[in-house]
């Protein structure tokens, strides 16, 4: 497997994810600064900003990790090589009819916790 293709594709996906999540966190911060200025002053600190940046990077890496897992090096008819994502349909069909593995359950719980946390933040309004 060509490591360069894997690294470039994964880094591109992670950088897009970090950009999106950073824009979302900036928007949320501005929303709270405008709508709840007195309460937001307490938690809008440098430490909170660092944590938020770390969470944005972590979520981006987790969300984009399938890109790295399903990256394959393909040989082109011209003799060159190309990195591409190959999602095995048979594997996906097999997974959909099997019991979920422990890691799949953890991932589902992780996304559920994120949605619950976001819901709690929004409901504080």
Residues forming a β-bridge with 72: 84
Residues 74 and 100 grouped into a single domain: no
Distance CA 70, CA 119 (A): 32
Return the SS3 of 81: strand
Domain count for the chain = 2
Residues 41 and 56 grouped into a single domain: yes
> 0.75 cut: is pTM over it?
no
Residues 46 and 3 grouped into a single domain: yes
Q: How far is CA 118 from the centre of its chain?
A: 15
Residues 35 and 7 grouped into a single domain: yes
Closest among 64, 89, 86 to 75, alpha carbons compared: 86
| Residues with pLDDT less than 50, the chain | 1, 90
Domain containing residue 65 = 1-86
Environment class of 29 (CB within 10 Å of its CB; exposed 0-12, middle 13-18, buried 19+): middle
Residues 66 and 82 grouped into a single domain: yes
What's the confidence (pLDDT) of residue 73? 75
């Amino acid at each position: 497997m060509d490591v360069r293709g894997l690294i470039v594709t994964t880094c591109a996906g992670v950088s897009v994810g970090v950009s999106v999540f950073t824009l979302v966190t900036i928007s949320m911060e501005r929303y709270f600064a405008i709508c709840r200025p007195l309460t937001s002053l307490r938690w809008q600190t440098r430490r909170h900003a660092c944590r938020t940046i770390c969470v944005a990077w972590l979520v981006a890496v987790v969300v984009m990790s399938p890109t790295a897992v399903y990256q394959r090096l393909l040989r082109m008819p011209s003799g060159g090589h190309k990195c591409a994502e190959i999602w095995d349909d048979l594997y996906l069909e097999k997974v959909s009819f099997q019991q979920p593995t422990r890691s799949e359950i953890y991932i589902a719980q992780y996304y559920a916790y994120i949605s619950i946390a976001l819901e709690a933040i929004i409901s504080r309004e």
